[in-house]
């Protein structure tokens, strides 16, 4: 019987120092919300993923649900995906408005076993018919998201290049501010589940769809291979198909989850310029955490200790308590 694992991230990017404390708090809150039940065998991998992601969607420190970043029109368009690794069921949601928890809508789609990907009005309809509450327009918009959009527009007015990067040297230009959230869990039954939720990137065109709801890029789960949730510059991650490449490196090159995540994040950035990161859990519960952006918030609990970090080569630890 595998030991349960829950590994989460709070986004890869050029995250300013002033936002680090809020990220750490949000990571710990999400682990407190989801881990005890999973560790005790009282919830399965899907419940743990949904609970952890919902916690971060509520937290304005993250670019998901409340606090999601804004498109050029100043609006929130949400995206999420959910996948389980036993039957490979999946639910992917895009261009969803005014719903606090897109991850739950993605899970409802997965459970219905009819379609895999829904967008816009159809996604909203599913949300409302499966008990999500429709918020008043603008409810998810925060002052800091508005400020980030204003700064983006100033940069654009100064002639900043917003095409995607071509070389590693261009990478900083497309290093988004980060904050997308994701979770990968393995439960005692050997089920792997993965969920990822985002508002995309600040200043995206209305209607832009990123990597987060795309299987193989933002999310993938297969009990026989492992689970991956990614974050970073979506146009880069989609073109590289990061999640799937990490799992392929584990399967065909016999690399560990950690070695595969490092290899593929680095190859992606060397080849395409854009940056990103990934969290990985293999079927034995071994972890992989890697990113080529300046920072990526992540965390997990093991033997009563929270392990977390945000900088390269960093692992902070403290006792896991429920306070």
* Residue 179 contacts ligand ASP per CB under 6 A: yes
Cα 204 from Cα 211, distance rounded (Å)? 13
Q: Does 234 bind ligand ASP (CB under 6 A)?
A: yes
Q: Supply the angle between the helices 257-272 and 242-252 in degrees, to the nearest 10.
A: 130
4 binds ligand ASP (CB under 6 A): no
198 binds ligand ASP per the rule CB under 6 A: yes
Task: Give the HSE-up count for residue 32: Cα atoms under 13 Å, Cβ half-sphere.
Answer: 12
Q: How far apart are CA 123 and CA 205, in angstroms?
A: 19
Q: Which of residues 136-155 bind ligand ASP (CB under 6 A)?
A: none
**Are 85 and 61 a contacting pair, CB within 8 Å?**
no
Query: Under the criterion CB under 6 A, does residue 227 sit at the interface with ligand ASP?
Result: no
The three-class DSSP label of residue 151 is: helix
| Subset of residues 50 to 89 that bind ligand ASP, contact rule: CB under 6 A | 63
What binding mask, one character per residue, do residues 110-129 give for ligand ASP by CB under 6 A, x or -?
--------------------
> Quick one: which segment of 23-31, 54-62, 107-115, 176-184 binds ligand ASP (CB under 6 A)?
176-184
- Residue 180 annotated in active site: yes
In which residue are the tokens 């036993």 written? 86
Residue 4 vs 274, nearer CB to ligand ASP: 274
Cβ pair 186, 227 in contact under 8 A: yes
Nearest one of 189, 84, 71, 204 to 140, comparing CA atoms: 71
The single residue of 174, 180, 198, 292 carrying the catalytic annotation is 180
Q: Which residues are catalytic?
A: 180
Tell me which residues touch ligand ASP (CB under 6 A): 11, 13, 63, 176, 178-180, 198, 200-201, 210-212, 231-234, 237
């Amino acid at each position: 019987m595998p030991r349960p694992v829950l590994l989460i991230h709070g986004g890869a990017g050029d995250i300013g120092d002033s936002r680090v404390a809020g990220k750490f708090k949000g990571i710990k809150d999400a682990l407190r919300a989801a881990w005890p039940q999973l560790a005790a065998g009282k919830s399965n991998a899907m419940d743990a993923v949904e609970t952890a992601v919902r916690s971060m969607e509520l937290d304005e420190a993250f670019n998901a649900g409340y606090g999601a970043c804004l498109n050029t029109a100043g609006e929130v368009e949400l995206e999420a995906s959910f996948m389980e690794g036993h039957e490979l069921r999946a639910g992917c949601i895009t261009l969803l408005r005014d719903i606090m928890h897109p991850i739950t809508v993605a899970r409802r789609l997965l459970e219905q076993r009819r379609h895999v990907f829904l967008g816009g009005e159809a996604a909203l309809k599913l949300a409302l018919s499966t008990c999500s509450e429709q918020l008043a327009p603008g409810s998810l918009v925060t002052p800091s998201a508005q400020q980030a959009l204003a700064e983006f527009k100033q940069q654009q007015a100064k002639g900043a290049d917003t095409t995607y990067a071509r070389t590693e040297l261009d990478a900083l230009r497309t290093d988004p501010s980060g904050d997308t959230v994701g979770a990968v869990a393995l439960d005692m039954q050997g089920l792997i589940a993965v969920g990822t939720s985002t508002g995309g990137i600040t200043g995206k065109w209305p209607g832009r769809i990123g990597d987060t709801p795309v299987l193989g890029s933002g999310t993938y789960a297969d009990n026989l291979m492992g689970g991956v949730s990614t974050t970073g510059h979506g146009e880069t991650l989609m073109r590289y198909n990061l999640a799937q490449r990490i799992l392929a490196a584990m399967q065909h090159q016999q690399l560990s989850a950690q070695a595969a995540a490092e290899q593929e994040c680095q190859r992606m950035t060397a080849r395409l310029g854009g940056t990103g990161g990934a969290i990985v859990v293999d079927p034995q519960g071994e972890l992989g955490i890697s990113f080529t952006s300046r920072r990526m918030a992540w965390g997990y609990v093991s033997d009563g200790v929270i392990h977390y970090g945000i900088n390269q080569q960093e692992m902070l630890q403290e006792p896991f308590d429920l306070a």
